[in-house]
C-alpha cells in the first residue's frame, strides 16, 4: 500500500500584500528595511492615527484596539503576513493577536540583546513610550540579555510627535531631542551611556537629531533590521505581484494625512486611503 504524501502548503496568492501596522508613521522605519530585502512585495501600510498616541493608553485599551483593527484588516485585505511595526502594540498585544489571527505575525521588541553586545561601558539607555518602558516584557528582556549591565529607561512621547511633525514637513524645536538626552544622562550612571535603544519605531526617523543631542560618543540601535530579516525568512520562496501602487491606510483622515503624502510617496506608498 502506497504511503500517503504529506499535504503541500497552500499556494500563496502572488498579489497578497504584507500588512505593516503601527499607531502612526513610525513603522515607516521598518518598512524601509523590509523594502530593501523584498523590493517587489506589495504592501499595505496601516496607521492607526485615530488612536495615536498609544503610549498614553492603558494596556487593556491597546490590546483591544490592536486586536480589533488587525482582525478587521486581515479579514478585508487577506495579507500573507502581518508585521506589527510598533513596540508598544507588540509588547502588549502580540500574544493575544497571534491567538486569534490565522496568519504569520512578526512583532517588534526593544533591541536590548544587541545593545548589550554593543555597549563598552555597560550602561545602556532605552527611549520608548511610557507604555513600553513599564512592560514586564521589557523586564524579561533586560534580565535575559542585559544581566550585569545597567539599563536606564525614559519615556519620551515628545519624540513621537516630533517624528510625525517632521514627516509632515513641519518645524520641530531641537529642545525636544535635548530633553530626551538630558533625561537619560541625569539618571544615576547616565553619564556613562554609550548605547541607546530606540524602542519606538518613530524614533529612528529622528535619529540624526538624537545623535546630535547625545553627542558623537553614543551609538543607536533599533529592531528594524531583525524584523525585516524575519519577514523575509517567513516569505522565502513566495512569489510577488504588485498589481497597483502600494497604499497607506489611515483610521482617520484630515489635513495631517494630506500633509504626509509627499513623505509617504518617498517610501513607495503612492495611494492613501481611510479605513
From 19, 200, 227, 248, the catalytic residue = 200
**Grid coordinates of 35:** 523594502
Told to judge if 200 belongs to the known catalytic residues of this protein, a careful annotator would answer yes
Q: What does the alpha-carbon distance between residue 184 and residue 150 come to, in Å, rounded to a whole number?
A: 12
Burial code (b: 16+ CB inside 10 Å, e: under 16) for 181-191 equals bebbbeeeebe
Instruction: Give one DSSP letter per residue of 176-216, joined into a string.
Output: HHHHHHHHHHTSTTGGG--EEEE-STTGGGGHHHHHHHH-T
Q: Which of 139, 193, 132, 121 is nearest to 157 (CA)?
A: 132
Told to judge if 86 belongs to the known catalytic residues of this protein, a careful annotator would answer yes
Query: Residue 105: which H helix or E strand, with range?
Result: strand 105-106
Q: Which residue has the cell 502581518?
A: 82
Return the CA Rg of the chain: 19
From 43, 86, 163, 206, the catalytic residue = 86
Q: What does the alpha-carbon distance between residue 104 and residue 106 come to, in Å, rounded to a whole number?
A: 7
**Active-site residue numbers?**
86, 200
Amino acid at each position: 500500500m502506497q504511503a500517503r504524501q504529506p499535504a503541500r502548503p497552500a499556494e500563496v496568492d502572488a498579489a497578497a500584500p504584507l500588512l505593516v501596522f503601527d499607531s502612526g508613521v513610525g513603522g515607516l522605519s521598518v518598512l524601509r528595511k523590509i523594502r530593501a530585502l523584498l523590493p517587489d512585495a506589495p504592501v499595505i501600510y496601516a496607521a492607526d492615527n485615530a488612536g495615536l498616541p498609544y503610549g498614553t493608553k492603558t494596556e487593556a485599551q491597546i490590546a483591544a484596539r490592536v486586536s480589533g483593527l488587525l482582525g478587521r484588516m486581515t479579514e478585508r485585505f487577506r495579507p500573507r503576513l502581518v508585521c506589527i511595526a510598533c513596540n508598544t502594540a507588540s509588547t502588549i498585544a502580540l500574544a493575544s493577536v497571534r491567538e486569534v489571527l490565522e496568519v504569520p505575525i512578526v512583532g517588534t521588541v526593544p533591541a536590548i540583546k544587541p545593545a548589550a553586545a554593543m555597549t563598552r561601558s555597560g550602561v545602556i539607555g532605552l527611549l520608548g513610550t511610557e507604555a513600553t518602558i513599564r512592560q514586564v516584557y521589557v523586564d524579561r528582556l533586560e534580565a535575559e540579555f542585559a544581566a550585569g549591565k545597567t539599563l536606564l529607561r525614559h519615556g519620551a512621547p515628545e519624540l513621537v510627535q516630533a517624528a510625525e511633525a517632521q514627516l509632515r514637513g513641519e518645524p520641530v524645536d531641537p529642545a525636544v531631542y535635548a530633553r530626551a538626552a538630558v533625561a537619560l544622562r541625569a539618571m544615576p550612571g547616565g553619564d556613562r551611556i554609550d548605547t541607546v535603544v530606540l524602542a519606538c519605531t518613530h524614533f529612528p526617523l529622528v535619529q540624526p537629531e538624537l545623535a546630535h543631542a547625545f553627542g558623537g560618543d553614543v551609538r543607536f540601535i533599533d529592531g528594524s533590521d531583525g524584523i525585516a530579516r524575519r519577514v523575509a525568512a517567513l516569505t522565502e520562496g513566495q512569489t510577488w505581484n504588485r498589481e497597483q501602487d502600494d497604499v497607506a491606510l489611515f483610521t482617520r483622515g484630515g489635513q495631517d494625512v494630506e500633509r504626509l503624502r509627499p513623505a509617504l510617496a518617498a517610501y513607495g506608498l503612492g495611494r492613501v486611503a481611510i479605513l
